[in-house]
Amino acid sequence: MKANVGGIDRVLRIVAGIVLLALVFVLKSEDGLWLWGLIGVVPLATGLMNWCPAYSLFGMSTCQVEEKKK
C-alpha cells in the first residue's frame, strides 16, 4: 500500500472520524441514530493509515511527492 493521503487531508479525516464516533455516545438514547456515528470509523482509519481505497481507485493522491536526488 502506497500512502496517498497526506497533510491537511489526513488531519481533516482524523478529526472528522473522531467527531462522527463521538455521535455514538451523544445520540446513544435515540432510536438507531447513534449507528450513523459508526461511519466515523472509515475516515479515522484512512487518516491513520495514510491510505484511501477510493483515491487508489481514481489514481488520486494528496501526499507530497519527494523528488529523488541523483
- With 70 as the cut, is the pLDDT of residue 61 above it? yes
Tell me what the mean pLDDT of segment 5-30 comes to: 90
Residue with the bigger pLDDT between 31 and 13: it is 13
Confidence at residue 32, expressed as pLDDT on a 0 to 100 scale: 78
Q: Write out pLDDT tens, residues 23-53.
A: 888 887 777 777 888 899 999 999 999 999 9
DSSP 6-34: -THHHHHHHHHHHHHHHHHHHTTTSTTGG
Q: What is the per-residue pLDDT for 23?
A: 86
**Cα dist from 43 to 3, 10, 65, 67, 69, whole Å:** 15, 9, 22, 28, 34
pLDDT of residue 57: 93
